[in-house]
Structure 1
């Protein structure tokens, strides 16, 4: 089916009529029979790509499934998501990553690209079947033990060496576990005041410093997950200046929220890495603008009710993020649409090797795109989320921007702000 986006503003630069035909943006001008969508006042962006999504299936379908997470992603303007490996069973074999890949294809709402585990069972003891996952139908290119740090430097070096053969990426959850044992929140004035065990910034920074040296030594690709401290930014800045092949991501919640939120003792604000200080938030925003941090990634982490509605000490860390990410980015860095496209679509697609994604809407490009109403403001209601979980830290907040439509290979997955199926 053909779709004509009438009067849309492409990346906020100019108004145009975009014709979608045969899965691509067409320049032939043949609009006869096209479904006309009034896009006056809307911004067309390349479909968003998330490098860090937890879909929980297989194993924790009570919290999320590939289908429900895919629907949440589409409603958030995403056309592709990378599904983390900490499922049950762990995605450490070709069989499991192919299962996740197949479930994503069956849902048909976004392209689900599995991330494979670095180590067997995320245990950090021996390498998983990296080659088998890379050559599987899922064609895995990113490997991560997210939720756990690959803390053994010898194992980390071996992983970096192994994936270099097929230009793979090791995505590190940077946390020195011996410095965070029993930690409940960021180590600082707020943790002292609340009497909660602190999580020092250096636990993250030390691992990043070690790993960029290893990546430089090996000549391989390193990606740093959910950067959260000003010190980490400085390590990354230095590494990039030296030409190390390192990229990094920041989450929406680390761009907006601080450790002061823990004073409520509401477990919805418990996350790994923890919310940091306002000085860290400022440094992260500046690094995102500069390109020291390459990508905004959601770390969408749905949890069942019993895992969040409990005492702080027993609550699982993590927050929802797919349906609110673009609004948070708009709120903290403004409507620089080209920068948003780079940090939330083009660069993550390049890192993940998703060749069909991350292309600006133009004739000949695959029609993976999203339409945003920049003038809209919406109040976040957890009950309205497409996710199976409700652990959003933004409940009751009024945020800018609204996803009006999302197209995957020319077919709408979201129209008028609602999932098509």
Structure 2
């Protein structure tokens, strides 16, 4: 494989491509011309451009670049796990052209100057777009609300306390009221900290057989139910970052039917893996929320196909060897996922459970709409943030070949069908396979 460093982009004509755009419903064979970092023309009959470089896609899919909502990028404070540079390299290899970064760093992203620092670091070191989310409470302590208006002005695109739920309902209501007034999106983790305390995996028969303490899915549904009611009360825009069980999906579906501005997401791991994958205490499968029963996984897949789930994310959470190679109950939660999100998602397409445009919408179009970001569509004038991938190419993942600094992937040695061939950001090729 070879990596491409950004340079002044030349006009590029992509030919013999399957153009797939979830935003417009386009799915046809054709060409696409990129000029000046934007899409200049596309369709079945784009005339040749004399001064343009020509890329023959040979029937591969050309689609909007993926937008990953909620990845942990390490900086500042955890550069031993990941950096903005290494995360962006992993993203580019996985077809992700925009990363929305979590704020649970050290220090947390709870002040305008930290947002500014991240934007400058991304400008200097990242090969893809990076947009920071800001903390909803100061220090991510769940006690005092941050300055939402100032953080928005600094460039924050959403507000969250990362992997922590806010226990204080009064504080949550107040934060939602302020966020509503500024049109800001609140994106929350939904697990009751007291109910899950000490839990290591999904509560159920399998956990009992392994002798591990469980984290019951009721802890998720309870917090989500409260937050949805507060969203209805305040009129705020609310996004549940990771829903993982059928009960939570029922809560979201009712909220949407009731007219609430509520959306939800789930991770690619929860869509394609279940609690049985933990096997013999395999800590790379220890996630938060935990992998659920197969019935819940199937419910998530159906909810994605039905449009109840709006967003699919990587839940990228790099951990080093020392924190993962411990007894299961003591190991840190989390897995990397930027580089494998699309490949794992294509399993759902090949099984016939989710149409390709629906999967791409959840990984690109809907995140762009929710966050007000450019991208997510193949339209004239849109940013040329693009991916070319062969949905049928077989390959086996070798964790050591991943671009991420940490290697804690649950997909090591997994067989995939579908590989990213090229990633383009603002008209520049930032990754190419081969």
Say whether the fold is shared (TM-score over 0.5).
yes
Structure-1 residue corresponding to 2:357: 338
Q: Is the contact made by 2:238 and 2:263 (CA closer than 8 Å) also made in structure 1?
A: yes
Distance between the aligned counterparts of 1:8 and 1:82, measured in 2? 28
Instruction: Choose which of 76, 82, 86 in structure 2 pairs with 1:68.
Output: 86
Q: Tell me the distance in 2 between the aligned counterparts of 1:264 and 1:90.
A: 35
Which residue does 1:133 correspond to in 2?
Answer: 151
Partner residue, 1:190: 206
* Structure 1 Cα separation of the partners of residues 148 and 213 of structure 2: 36
Out of 216, 220, 233, the residue aligned to residue 200 of structure 1 is 216
Structure 1 residue runs of 4+, over 6 Å off?
A: none
| Matched-pair contact (CA < 8 Å) for 2:131–2:157 | no
Note the residue ranges of structure 1 that are not aligned, 5 or more in a row.
none
CA contact (8 A) 2:137 2:161 kept: yes
Structure 1 stretch displaced more, 74-83 or 4-13: 4-13
Aligned to 2:377, the other structure's residue is in SS state: coil
Deviation of the 1:225 alpha carbon: 1.1
Q: How does 1:133-212 map to 2 (within 5 A)?
A: 133-136=151-154, 139-212=155-228
C-alpha distance in structure 1 between counterparts of 2:127 and 2:304, whole Å:
28
Matched residue, 1:366: 383
Match of 1:263 among 279, 301, 308: 279
Counterpart of 2:394 in structure 1 is 377
One of 95, 100, 111 as aligned partner of 1:82:
100
Is 1:225 aligned to residue 241 of structure 2? yes
User: Normalization by structure 1: what TM-score?
Assistant: 0.96
Aligned with residue 260 of structure 2, among 244, 268, 293:
244
Moved more, 16-25 or 57-66: 16-25
* Post-superposition offset of 1:107: 2.3
Normalising by structure 2, report the TM-score: 0.93
Q: Check whether the contact 1:83–1:113 (CA below 8 A) recurs between aligned residues.
A: yes
Which one of 344, 369, 372 corresponds to residue 350 of structure 1? 369
Aligned-partner SS, 1:143: coil
Q: Which of 12, 16, 28 is equivalent to 1:7?
A: 16
Q: Cα distance, 1:135 vs. partner?
A: 1.0
Alpha-carbon RMSD:
1.3
Following TM superposition, by how much is the alpha carbon of 1:191 offset from its aligned partner in structure 2, in angstroms?
Answer: 1.1
Structure 2 residue corresponding to 1:294, chosen from 304, 310, 324: 310
1:277 aligns with 2:296: no
1:141/1:167 contact within 8 Å kept: no
Match of 1:19 among 33, 40, 65: 33
Q: CA deviation at 1:219?
A: 0.4
Per-residue displacement from partner, 1:247-302 (whole Å, max 9, x unpaired)? 10010100111111223111111110000000000000000111111010111001
Give the direction of change, closer, same or farther, for the CA distance of 1:99–1:230 in structure 2 (3 Å limit).
same
SS of equivalent residue, structure 2 residue 423: strand
Instruction: State the match for 2:5 in structure 1.
Output: none
Q: Report if the CA contact (8 A) 2:349-2:356 is conserved.
A: no
Q: How far apart in 2 are the matches of 1:25 and 1:415?
A: 19
With 325-334 and 224-233 compared, the bigger mean Cα shift is at: 325-334
Name the CA distance, whole Å, in 2 between partners of 1:304 and 1:319: 10
Residue 398 to residue 83, structure 1, CA distance change in 2 (3 Å)? same
Question: Which residue of the partner structure matches residue 305 of structure 1?
Answer: 321
Q: Which runs of 5+ in 2 are unaligned?
A: 1-9, 21-25
Paired residue secondary structure (1:207): helix
Cα deviations across residues 224-265 of structure 1 (Å, max 9, x unaligned)? 011111110111111111011111001010011111122311
Tell me the distance in 2 between the aligned counterparts of 1:363 and 1:211.
39
1:260 is paired with a residue whose SS is helix
Give the conservation status (yes or no) of the 8 Å contact 2:84–2:126. Answer: no
8 A contact 1:51–1:352 mirrored in 2: no
Q: Deviations over 1:20-66 (max 9, x none)?
A: 11111223846112211110121011111011111011001000001
Counterpart-to-counterpart distance in 2, 1:199 and 1:108: 36
Residues 225 and 249 in structure 1, CA contact (< 8 A), matched pair in contact too: yes
Distance 1:95 1:332 in 2: 41
Whole-angstrom CA distance in 1 between matches of 2:274 and 2:70 = 21
State the SS of the aligned residue for 1:317: coil
Deviation at 1:108, TM superposition (A): 4.0
Structure 1 residue 132, shift from structure 2 partner: 1.5
